[in-house]
Structure formats: structure tokens, C-alpha cells
Amino acid sequence: MIFTTPEFVLFAVLFFGLYPFMRGFGRKAFLLAASYLFYACWDWRFLFLLWSVTGVSFYLARGIDRSESRQKRKVFLGLALGFCLGELFLFKYCDFFIDSANALLGACGLGALSGGLQLVLPVGISFYVFQTLSYVIDVYKKEIRADADLLDFALYVAYFPQLVAGPIERAQSLLPQIQNLDAVYEKRDSSGIGLIALGAFKKAVIADNLALYVDALYDPNIHPYPAGLWIGTLAFAIQIYCDFSGYSDIATGLSRLIGIDLMTNFESPYASLGPNEFWRRWHISLSTWLRDYLYFSLGGSRCSAFKTARNILIVMALAGLWHGAGWNFVLWGVAIGTMQVIARTPPFKGLQTQIDRLPRFAQMPARFLQHLCFLFIILLDWALFRCSSLDHCKAVFKGLFSFNRFNNYLFQEAVAKGNDQRVILLILLCCAGVMLFHCLYRKSSKDLVQTLWKAPLFVKVTVCTLLLFASMLYAPEAPPPFIYFQF
């Protein structure tokens, strides 16, 4: 069930029509039932997977909390990590490693292993597994107490606004709000409507329309050529941001109408001047999760320069693998990690300080040049992310850096699937608008909507109406699912 479809609109109308009349246990039970119904609309069979992760994590966390023996606590933690990560590996990575092993054995002239399991990937499994793991680890570290109410914990895992694509919430923030649903509902915020309207506009008007051309220009069956690939890569950079941040905006907006506040997941990432700043502003819930539970566990930056670089590369490689079971995703993560390591070396570490020391008239051009150089590198990294395989990566990068003249016939063939020959104008307008917004407004969508909500009621109603109307009028007939649903 996609947020921008009529089916979800009906679901939301029924939910918010009944939710205000619920109280206490009934309110929690109703919200949990709605969350399970929302998830079952994708495939009801995967509810059993969601229930198993919920039940095992709940009881093992209780065992950790009750046990005074360090050894028993470790055993319970190991069982929880093994079960949750085991299910994630089975459904998401098993075939990937089997195929990789078969390719390696084939290259060595040895026999292949048996075929993969060909299991369907449960939607949102990476998100709710990571959210559950953070809870169990925090209980083990004695940062929180294990929840004694299975209903509360089940809601923490299955809370429908952020169930299938985040943000990946922490128990310290989300659980207390779930435990006091009646109290938080009294503090619900109508600005959630503005976030829903903004998110729907990003997804339906910008991301979904650009997706038509990105898919065509990145089609592995079409001969790649420079102009089309650069246009497609630039369009994909805007598409993936508007798609994923649009989901986060809608999720946060829905949650605000319930009275629950979710964490900020994006904060103008394309306004960044370097890779470290970009990773802090992009998919914040994942970057902070990896920092707190993996990077710090490896030693973080409190070690030698070599070990720090090693830690960064390990974390970013796993961040790439989290996004998808493919070597192109691993390369994408390693590329960002390599940029972060390079940014820590002496020639680049003090770059910002050096620019700040320039005369005033030279600072703005220097920052603009720095911004352009970084965006160019990020575009190359997004090309890795968008490719479907390593062979596709080779073809795309060969095409990006070839110097063949513009082939108008191939370009028209590529954009024919979009049914609109004005693709260049559409992409350039979208890209220019999004980039200009980021450069001028270096804050999150929450901050933008909060600014709007200070305006008179007429202005708020007009802006939200226009955004929602545009989302219905200009949405494709068959909207694609959110990109991060596949992760």
C-alpha cells in the first residue's frame, strides 16, 4: 500500500475517522491492528516473519534485563542478534552470496554450488530488523529497561507510518510515546498535514515522473551514451532524494496527526560541502545507527589513522550492503567511505578553514566551486547505486566518460517510454529547483513546514491544497513503489 495511492487514502480516512474515539488499551490495539493490516496489504504471509522477530526479541530482551549473569546476558544477546540477522540474511542475502560463490568457483574452473532459494524479499525487513536490534542492544548496554508490555513493544516494531521505510527509530524516543498514546494524542500537531502535502508532492510530482526517464536512460538494453547518462544520473539524484525524503515527510506527517514525533531523516543533503557532511544529512536514522552500534564498537576515530580509515570503510561497505544485495551497492558504500577517508587527510582536512581565511570577495566563488566539485563526485556515486550489476556499472561509466557526440536518435529512443519529448526541460527545472532550495534553505522539511505554519490560516490551506492537487493531477497512472521499499 503506497502512501500516494487511493487505497491508502481510504485507509487513512477510515483510520483517522475512528482513532479519536479510542482510549487506553483500545487505542493501542486499534493502532496495532491498523499497522498489521497496512503491512498485510503487501503480503499477509510476511506477518508471520514480523511476529517472529517481535516475539523473539521481546522475550530475549526480557531475559537480558532480568539476568544478573554477564554470561547469560551475552547468550541472550547472541540469540537475539543471531535470530534477527539470520532472518535478514536468509531472505535478503542468501541468494546473493550463493551467486557470488558460484561466479568465483566458475572463474576458478570449479563446479558451482546448488541454486539459490529465490525467496521473495519482505518489504521493509531491513528497517524493522535494525530498529529491533537497537532495542535489544540498548537493553544489553543497560541504557534502557526491557518493556514489560508485549503490546507496546509490538507497536514499536510495527508502527505503520515508519514500518516499511523508516526512519529507523530508537526505543528511547518512540517507546515512551507509544506507552502514553492518550497523552501524546492530546498534543497532536496539525502541521503534519503540511508535511504530508509536501511529501506527496515530492513523490508523485517529482520523483515518479523523473523515474520514467531515469528507467529509460539507464535501461541496460539501450546503448549508453554520454548526454543521456549524465541527464539520467542528474535526474536520479533528484528522484531518489524526493522519493525517500518524500516518504519520510509523509510518515512524519501521519505520525504527527497521531501525536507521535519521529526523528528527522533528511536535512538538505545536497547543500553539503563534503562527504562527511553529506552522510550526516542523508538518511540520518541509518547513519546514526551505524555510527552508534557499529563504528563506535570498532573503535571509531579514537585510534590510529589507519584503523580509523579501516573502520570507516567497513561501516560504509556494510551500509552499501544494507541497501541491496549487489556488488554495485557495496562499491557505492566503499566509494562514500573512501571520500570520507580522503577528506580526513591533511590536504583536505583544513580546506574549509582555508576558504574561511580568504578575502570576503573570494569566499563565495571558492565555496561554490567546492560545492560543484562535491556534487560531481556524488553524481558518480549515484550512478553506481542506480546500476543493476557490475557489468552495467562498467557500461555506464564507460558511457559517462566517452566523448561521442550527442546521438539524438538514441536519446529519443531512450525517452520514448516517458511519452514526453520535453524531458530535458522537466529534469533541468526539477534539478534546478531542488538544488536552489537546498542551497538557500539548509534545513529539514520539518523546519520548512514549521515556518509555513506560522503564516495565516488562508496561506496554509492554499499551499497544502495546491500541493495535494498537483500530486493528484500530475501523478503517473501507475505510480512506482518507493525506492527504499526494496531495502
4-8 contacts, C-beta under 8 A, 24 or more apart: 4/200, 4/203, 4/204, 4/208, 4/250, 4/471, 4/475, 4/479, 5/479, 7/41
Q: What parts of the chain have a pLDDT lower than 70? A: 109-116, 223-225, 350-353, 356, 363, 403-442
pLDDT given for residue 434 in this prediction: 62
Side chain identity at residue 101, one-letter code: A
- pLDDT, residue 419, reads 43
Residue 253 CA to residue 195 CA, distance in Å, equals 5
Reference 249, options 191, 210, 172; nearest CA is 191
User: What local confidence, expressed as pLDDT, does residue 417 receive?
Assistant: 47
- What are the start-end ranges of the H helices in 324-359? 327-343, 346-349, 351-356
Residue 45 to residues 41, 42, 51, 66, 89, Cα–Cα distance (Å): 10, 9, 11, 33, 18
Residue with cell 523523473: 210
Contact 378, 271 (CB under 8 A): no
Burial class (CB in 10 A: 0-12, 13-18, 19+), 31: buried
Residue 439: closest CA among 217, 245, 270, 243: 270
pLDDT of residue 427: 57
| Short-list 431, 41, 446, CA closest to 207 | 431
Question: Does pTM surpass 0.95?
Answer: no
Neighbour count for residue 377 (Cβ, 10 Å): 16
Residues 6+ apart with CB under 8 A from 447: 441
Q: What is the pLDDT of residue 76?
A: 94
Taking a C-beta distance cutoff of 8 angstroms, is the pair 316, 340 a contact?
yes
Nearest-angstrom CA–CA distance, 157 and 454: 34
The residues annotated with a catalytic role in the active site are 323
Question: What is the pLDDT, as a whole number, of residue 171?
Answer: 93
DSSP H helices, 344-444, are 346-349, 351-356, 360-386, 390-400, 408-415, 423-440
Please tell me the predicted confidence (pLDDT) of residue 129.
Answer: 94
Residue showing cell 540477522: 85
